[in-house]
């Protein structure tokens, strides 16, 4: 970062406008692989486990959330629907006790940040945050995999805290996403009357205010964060990993990942003791030769 301005070289190289929480989590698996996934999008194949995970999330969302027939036709429409669905989910928590697939927004340093929380539950006037991961076998993941899940939840919790404290507000969101210059399609707007959406909630800025208020008004957030592991075939829960939110650990994560995003260092490959991960990487020996056999890859 120079003179308080964002170093856009990394985002530009990766053709990104902001950072996703899943990118940060991926930095803790292999930062080099995360970078290559953005550089070679066309070569990234969706695995069966990824497809199964997406299906599970969709099924659970349909079970938990109010079905809304809003059909986006463009980017501005999508932004509105995302905020509106989040607002409905949060405001119905007192009755439904849980909501799923809540898109949240925030910042990391000077970068805009976004991510989707799998599930938020309301217990004793406190929010509980959950992340769901599918597994092919009825066994919990190794520590390396678990670490990425922990980081993901830590960042989600930070984002919720920042909204509640006002550190990240609806006003900041509208600036970050230039919402005043966005125009929803007439076809999309015509759906508002059919759905009975209040006239005071029919702009992106107005629904952003409502969504951010719905989060900032909650009384408390639990320090207990939970990852649920689910069998991708029979949908049965394998187990749950619980841990406690730690602000110092969040700061450590931020310090580490921002060195990459600000351009202070190049993307790091996995350390020598973790080069077993390379066998599961589609870039191994092609776009990435860091631990290619002639450089000493061992079993």
State pLDDT tens for residues 117-145: 999 999 988 999 999 999 999 999 999 99
Distance between CA 267 and CA 147 in Å, rounded? 18
Q: What is the distance between the alpha carbons of residues 150 and 148, in angstroms, rounded to a whole number? A: 5
Q: Cα-atom radius of gyration of the chain, to the nearest Å?
A: 20
- Global pTM reads 0.89
Question: Is residue 102 over pLDDT 80?
Answer: yes
The pLDDT score that the predictor gives to residue 3 is 35
Confidence of residue 60 (pLDDT cuts 50, 70, 90): low
User: b/e for 160-190, b at 16 or more Cβ within 10 A?
Assistant: bbbbbeeebbbebbbebbebeebebeeebbe
pLDDT, position 292:
82
What is the per-residue pLDDT across 138-173, written as a single tens digit (0 to 9) for each?
Answer: 999 999 999 999 999 999 999 999 999 999 999 999
Q: What is the pLDDT of residues 229-276, one digit of tens each?
A: 999 888 899 999 999 999 999 999 999 999 999 999 999 999 999 999
Phi and psi for 284 in degrees, rounded to 5?
Answer: -60, 125
**pLDDT tens digits, one per residue of 195-238:** 899 999 999 999 999 999 999 999 999 999 999 999 988 889 99
Total residues belonging to the chain? 299
Could you tell me which residue, 200 or 58, shows the higher pLDDT? 200
Quick one: average pLDDT of 15-31?
Answer: 97
């Amino acid at each position: 970062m120079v003179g308080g301005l964002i170093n856009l070289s990394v985002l530009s190289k990766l053709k990104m406008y902001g950072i996703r929480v899943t990118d940060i989590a991926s930095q803790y698996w292999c930062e080099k692989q995360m970078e290559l996934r953005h550089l070679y999008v066309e070569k990234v194949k969706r695995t069966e486990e990824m497809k199964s995970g997406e299906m599970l999330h969709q099924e659970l969302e349909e079970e938990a959330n109010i079905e809304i027939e809003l059909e986006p036709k463009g980017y501005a429409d999508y932004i509105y629907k995302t905020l509106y669905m989040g607002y409905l989910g949060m405001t119905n928590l007192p009755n439904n006790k849980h909501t799923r697939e809540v898109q949240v927004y925030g910042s990391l340093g000077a970068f805009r940040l976004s991510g989707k929380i799998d599930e938020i539950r309301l217990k004793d006037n406190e929010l509980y945050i959950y992340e769901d991961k599918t597994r092919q076998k009825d066994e919990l993941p190794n520590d390396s995999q678990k670490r990425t899940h922990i980081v993901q939840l830590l960042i989600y919790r930070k984002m919720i805290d920042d909204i509640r404290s006002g550190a990240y507000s609806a006003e900041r969101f509208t600036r970050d996403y230039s919402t005043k210059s966005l125009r929803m399609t007439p076809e999309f707007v015509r759906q508002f009357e059919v759905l009975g959406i209040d006239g005071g909630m029919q702009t992106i800025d107005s629904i952003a205010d409502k969504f951010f208020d719905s989060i900032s008004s909650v009384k408390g957030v639990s320090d207990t964060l939970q990852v649920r592991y689910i069998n991708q075939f029979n949908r049965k829960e394998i187990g749950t990993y619980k841990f406690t939110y730690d602000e110092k650990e969040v700061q450590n994560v931020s310090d580490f990942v921002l060195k990459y995003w600000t351009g202070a260092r190049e993307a790091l490959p996995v350390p020598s003791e973790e080069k077993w991960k390379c066998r599961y990487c589609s870039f191994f020996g092609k776009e990435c030769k860091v631990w290619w056999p002639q450089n000493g890859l061992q079993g």
